[in-house]
């Protein structure tokens, strides 16, 4: 710690070294923020890769912008694998998976860890670069992506809407953080994501007519197909601009730019401000979806707080305008599944099953689940049995090793005892046996005795 005067003063905050304690100190609000993961499944074209990157930028800041995927493994990986290995440790709540085949592009939105999974057909899409190429003044701001966008759902109906429509609306809303109107800062609201549900009649290219021999039945089926309605969701991404009302556009540009404009074609600054500017041709009139101009009174509001840009002060009147950022997409829901892409089908746009078919499907799923549980239990029993056999072999091996060691110790002890007895016997034999001098003396005495007897 640095010193100030004669005492040491603490100048940094407390650092929690334990990750578990750090996670426990996080606020409940941060844990409630939804986080998304945008991935691709299998091999896709380069345009799809750019579209994935644009989607990640749209979902900023609560998404992985620079996610590196392993192309060799993501083909075999399931949504459940992503949910258990990536989403659970990182607190990810939604997975957006894009796939491509020879006929169409599919987008699946899954709620982790229990589902449901919504499958969409991507009918059309446009990249950010395509939208910017048709704009006369593209919007450029890196700070706009520091805060989450505000989600707006339109034409999804009320409580009387169909269940799959309600599910779509709830899913789109839950992908973005909730905005608290009482505490939100007006300067943080910089972007808007719009999901607009449109209903239109089915066109010929939307159906695959089957060839039949009966012309009457063919006409009837065509009439029924014409009466059917298709539900599509249009996704748009906008930036919010605010301009003060009652200030000339040229004066506002001078104030915002903080520099002297180019006056080489005019003789006075008054000519620059008062001259009538010819309206440029609207190159993007039918291609972009920007909002109305500043002169529309419906777009003029009184700011309750200060907003980005000069002259957009509190309680001042400003005109709001939406500038499209991209990407844009048209989605068509065709299937809703329970779970992470592996459960029973709750809704299908092209097939309607009877009660018997639904019950048969449920019985089939239950039978498959019970069979899976039986196999799992059998595998657990086999693992326990093999583990018991292995443990028994280890115990028997240990017992044999102990027996060998015990026998070796007994032999060693027996050998040491036998050597001591032999030494004792040899010493006793040495004591009992006469020495060489004693034998010589005995022989000399025996000779004396023999000589005396001879005399």
pLDDT at position 278 is 41
Q: Which of 146-150, 306-310, 444-448 has the highest mean pLDDT?
A: 146-150
pLDDT 10s digits, 304-313: 888 887 778 8
pLDDT at position 56 is 94
pLDDT 10s digits, 4-22: 666 776 666 555 555 454 5
Segment 277-281 long-range contacts (CB within 8 Å, at least 24 positions apart): 280/136
pLDDT at position 282 is 42
pLDDT at position 258 is 67
pLDDT 10s digits, 320-346: 889 999 899 999 999 999 888 777 788
pLDDT at position 277 is 46
pLDDT at position 82 is 86
What is the Cα 50 distance to its own chain's centre?
18
pLDDT at residue 220 tops 50: no
Tell which wins on pLDDT, 100 or 258: 100
pLDDT at residue 126 tops 90: yes
Q: What's the pLDDT band for 289 if we cut at 50, 70, 90?
A: low
Residue 223 dihedral angles phi and psi, to the nearest 5°: -65, -40
Place of tokens 């748009």: 236
Tokens of 265: 């074609």
CA angle at 190 for the pair 35 and 66, rounded to the nearest 5°: 40
Computed from CA positions of residues 193, 195, 196, 201, in that sequence, does the dihedral angle turn out positive or negative?
positive
Q: What's the pLDDT band for 280 if we cut at 50, 70, 90?
A: very low
Tell which wins on pLDDT, 103 or 296: 103
- Average pLDDT of the chain, as a whole number: 79
pLDDT at position 295 is 64
CA angle at 443 for the pair 442 and 447, rounded to the nearest 5°: 115
Instruction: Give the pairing type, strands 300-302 and 317-324.
Output: antiparallel
Tell which wins on pLDDT, 98 or 32: 98
pLDDT at position 384 is 93
pLDDT 10s digits, 77-92: 888 888 888 888 888 9
Tell which wins on pLDDT, 324 or 428: 324
pLDDT at residue 244 tops 90: no
Q: Which of 258-262, 301-305, 374-378 has the highest mean pLDDT?
A: 374-378
Residue 38 dihedral angles phi and psi, to the nearest 5°: -105, 120
Poorest-pLDDT segment among 187-201, 340-354, 437-451: 437-451
pLDDT 10s digits, 350-389: 888 888 888 888 888 889 889 999 999 999 999 999 999 9
pLDDT at position 107 is 95
pLDDT 10s digits, 234-243: 999 999 988 8
What is the SS3 string spanning the chain?
Answer: CCEECCEECCCCCCCCCCHHHHHHCCCHHHHHCCCEEEEEECCCCHHHHHHHHHHHHHCCCCECCCCCCCCCCCCCCCHHHHHHHHHHHHCCCEEEEEEECCCCEEEEEEECCCCCEEEEEEEEEECHHHHHHCCCCCCCCCHHHHCCCEEEEECCCCCCCCHHHHHHHHHHHHCCCCCCCCCCCHHHCCEEEEEEEEEEECCHHHCCCCCCCCHHHHHHHHHHHHHCEEEEEEEEEEEEEEEECCCCHHHHHHHHHCCCCCCCCCCCHHHHHHCCCCCCCCCCCCCCCCCCCCCCHHHEEECCCCCCCCCCCCCCEEEEEEEECCCEEEEEEEEEECCCCCCCEEEECCCCCCHHHHHHHHHHHHHHHHHHHHHHHHHHHHHHHHHHHHHHHHHHHHHHHHHHHHHHHHHHHHHHHHHHHHHHHHHHHHHHCCCHHHHHHHHHHHHHHHHHHHC
pLDDT at position 218 is 45
Tell which wins on pLDDT, 309 or 421: 309
Half-sphere exposure of 61 (CA within 13 A, CB side): 9
Contact 276, 176 (CB under 8 A): no
Q: Which of 70-74, 269-273, 293-297, 384-388 has the highest mean pLDDT?
A: 384-388
Percent above pLDDT 70 for the chain: 72
């Amino acid at each position: 710690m640095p010193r100030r005067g004669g005492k040491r003063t603490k100048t940094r905050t407390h650092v929690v070294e334990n990750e578990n304690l750090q996670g426990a100190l996080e606020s409940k609000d941060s844990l409630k923020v939804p986080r998304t993961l945008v991935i691709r499944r299998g091999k896709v074209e380069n345009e799809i890769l750019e579209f994935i990157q644009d989607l990640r930028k749209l979902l900023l800041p609560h998404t992985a912008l620079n996610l590196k995927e392993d192309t060799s493994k993501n083909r075999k990986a399931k949504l459940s694998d992503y949910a258990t290995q990536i989403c659970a440790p990182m607190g990810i709540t939604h997975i957006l998976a894009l796939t491509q085949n020879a006929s169409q592009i599919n987008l699946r939105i899954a709620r982790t860890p229990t589902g449901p999974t919504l499958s969409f057909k991507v009918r059309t899409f446009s990249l950010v670069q395509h939208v910017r190429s048709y704009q006369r003044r593209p919007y450029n701001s890196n700070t706009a992506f520091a805060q989450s966008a505000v989600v707006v759902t339109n034409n999804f109906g009320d409580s009387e809407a169909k269940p799959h429509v309600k599910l779509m609306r709830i899913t789109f809303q839950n992908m973005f953080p909730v905005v608290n109107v009482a505490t939100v800062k007006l300067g943080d609201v910089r972007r808007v994501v719009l999901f607009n549900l449109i209903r239109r009649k089915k066109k010929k290219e939307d159906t695959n007519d089957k060839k039949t021999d009966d012309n009457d039945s063919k006409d009837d089926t065509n009439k029924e197909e014409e009466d059917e309605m298709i539900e599509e969701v249009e996704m748009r991404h906008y930036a919010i601009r605010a301009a003060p009302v009652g200030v000339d556009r040229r004066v506002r540009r001078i104030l915002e730019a903080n520099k002297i404009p180019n006056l080489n074609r005019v003789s006075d600054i008054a000519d620059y401000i008062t001259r009538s500017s010819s309206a440029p041709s609207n190159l993007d009139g039918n291609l972009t979806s920007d909002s109305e101009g500043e002169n529309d009174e419906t777009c003029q509001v009184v700011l309750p707080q200060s907003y980005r840009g000069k002259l957009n002060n509190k309680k001042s009147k400003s005109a709001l305008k939406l500038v499209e950022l991209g990407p844009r997409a048209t989605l068509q829901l065709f299937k809703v599944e329970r779970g992470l892409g592996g459960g029973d089908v709750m809704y299908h746009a092209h097939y309607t099953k009877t009660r018997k078919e639904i019950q048969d499907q449920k019985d089939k799923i239950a039978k498959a689940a019970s069979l899976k549980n039986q196999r799992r239990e059998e595998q657990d029993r086999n693992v326990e049995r093999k583990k018991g056999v292995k443990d028994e072999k280890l115990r028997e091996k240990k017992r044999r090793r102990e027996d060998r060691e015990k026998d070796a110790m007994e032999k060693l002890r027996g050998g040491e005892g036998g050597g001591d007895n032999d030494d004792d016997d040899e010493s006793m034999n040495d004591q009992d046996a006469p020495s060489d001098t004693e034998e010589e003396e005995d022989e000399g005495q025996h000779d004396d005795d023999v000589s005396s007897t001879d005399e």
